Every structure is written in C-alpha cells, then in structure tokens.
Amino acid sequence: MPKRSVETYRVLQPVMFRHRVFKAGRIVTFNTCNAEKFVKAGKMVKVDMTGFVDILKCGLTFPSEVVILGSGPNGVSKYSMLEGKFVIALNKAIFAPVEASVWAAQDPTLKREKWFVGVANELQASGRHFGLREFNAGQYPMPIVERNNIAKYYSHFKLTFTVSKPLLDARHINVDSPLLHAGGTVCGTFLQILKKLMKKPKPPARRRIILCGIDMFGDVYFDRSKHKDSVRKGRTWYRTSQLDALIKGIIDSGIDVVTVSKTKLKHPTYVEEI
C-alpha cells in the first residue's frame, strides 16, 4: 500500500475526529485523506510549515538607530516625535497611530486574542509575502514573530526568533549570549536582538535605541483598553528589574538606550528631544 501523506492544518472551526474534539485555532497533523472532508467544509486549512527564517542567522540587519514602541499610555504624547524613525511596534502597539517598520509579536497568549487574530488574518488576506526579501525591500510593517508560539499558528509570517531558557537574571546579565533569553518581555527580547543585529555607524556616531511607551506599569494600554491580567492594576510590572539590568548591560556595551516617555525603568536616559 502507498504510504499515506501527513500534512499540517489549522483548525478554523471545532471538529470531532475519532471521538476527540479539536478546538478552533489549534495546529494539527492529519493524514490528508482524513483531513479532506474538513478542508472541503471550511473547518480546517492546510498551512505551510516550511520556509521559516531565523533572523539571527540570515544576515538581516537593523539601522543604527531604532525606536522600540510599547503600548503604554505614557508614550501617546510622544508619538509625533517618532515620524521618520525605524519603529519596532511591540504586540498591541501595532494599533498606535505611528508608522511602524516591524511588528514584533511574542506573547504565547496572542494566538487566542481576537485583536491579534484579526490583524494576522488581515495581513494574510492582503496577499503580501512576509520574508527576508520583502523586509530588505522595505515592505513594512513586517511581522517578526516568535517561532514556537506565533509562527507555528500563523505560518505566513516567515521571519522568526526563538526565546530560550535560562530566563534573564537581573544579577547575571550576559548581553553577548548567543541565545535570546526570555523573562524580559518582548521589549527585552528585541533589545537582545538589536544588540546583535544593529549596524555600527562610523565613529563618532553611536548606536542608539529609543524607547517609547515602555511604561512597565499598570494595566491600561495607550488606547485606554485594559490588559486581561488585572493584577497589573496600579503596580510596577514584575519583569522590570530583569529588563532594567539588561538595559544597563547594553548601555555598558556601548549602545545608548534612551526613553522619550516616563517609565519605571531606571537605566534608560530620559530625553526631551530625539
């Protein structure tokens, strides 16, 4: 008998197979003959799990000055300062009225968030491609997403990174580690990425990372919506110390890190103009 082919599918609507229910949003592997009826019924769609590109290994580079845009409300009054800058919008900050070059997505819960699913599906429906060639051609905003928690479910996003353990330890920061250590939020991940991939300008110019909306406080977003984790209300985020230690390490390595908006972080230099 010919060997049955196995493919990867995303469940669009709940399906039952052999007394087991597969919920919408799940990534599953099925024999093609078993999946056929679900695909025809519009309950599953085949996904392409090939062609992913690790941004740390493909020669991708970032400019010598980059803005990391978070979704904190303190950044709202500073948005006009970001015009013409290379902006990396983190997670929900993609909705901010700022022209972003990169949409960075990492949080493992995003694949279940309606706003994220909406943006991801809208980008897919646009007919655009989301790979290295398109990034180098300046086709923005370009999604760059965590491989195991995001790209696995939205495989049209081809530029990926992988976060690893051990987690960032505020007492022992190594900015030259070949890994991207989790534990510093998506902002911490992209600080580590930029340390590795930012172009070095001709002296005396220095590399510079500009933070905006990285409040590290509270449960309210820039658009006044609220985070689902109400424990953040009125509190400093518990990852602040790890992120602060990482920033200090990056500054000590020769990269300037500044912030244009108020934050609970201590090490970025606050600046009025950029």
pLDDT, tens digit (0-9, with 9 covering 90-100), for 111-132 = 888 999 999 989 988 999 999 9
Statement to judge: residues 38 and 66 lie in one domain: no
Domain with residue 62: its CATH number is: 3.90.1480
Closest CA to 247 of 262, 268, 264, 261: 268
Report how far residue 180's alpha carbon sits from residue 177's, in angstroms, rounded to the nearest whole number.
8
For residue 129, give the amino acid letter: H
Lowest model confidence (mean pLDDT) among 6-10, 73-77, 124-128, 264-268? 6-10
Q: Is residue 1 part of a domain?
A: no
Reduce the DSSP state of residue 208 to 3 states and report it.
strand
Please check whether residue 29 lies inside any domain of the structure: yes
Whether 62 has a pLDDT exceeding 80, the answer reads yes
Please state the domain count of the chain.
2
> Is the domain of 88 the same as that of 191?
yes
Helix axis angle for 185-197 and 240-252, nearest 10°, is 10
Residue-wise pLDDT tens digits, 183-242:
999 999 999 999 999 999 999 999 999 999 999 998 889 998 887 776 678 788 889 999
Statement: residue 1 has pLDDT above 50: no
Task: Check whether residue 103 and residue 183 sit in a common domain.
Answer: yes
H/E/C letters for each residue in 85-150? CCEEEEHHHHHCCCCCCEEEECCCCHHHCHHHHHHHHHHHHCCCCCCHHHHHCCCCCEEEEEHHHH
User: 44 forms bridges with which residues in the sheet?
Assistant: 11
Q: Position of tokens 């991940």? A: 189
Q: Domain for residue 59, yes or no?
A: yes
pLDDT band at residue 3 using 50, 70 and 90 as cut-offs: low
Contact 11, 23 (CB under 8 A): yes
> What confidence tens digit (pLDDT) does each residue in 156-177 have?
999 999 999 999 999 999 999 9
Q: Give the pLDDT score at 47.
A: 75
pTM beyond 0.75: the answer is yes
Same-domain pairing of 38 and 69: no
Residue 103 belongs to domain spanning: 53-270
- Host H or E run for residue 163: strand 163-164
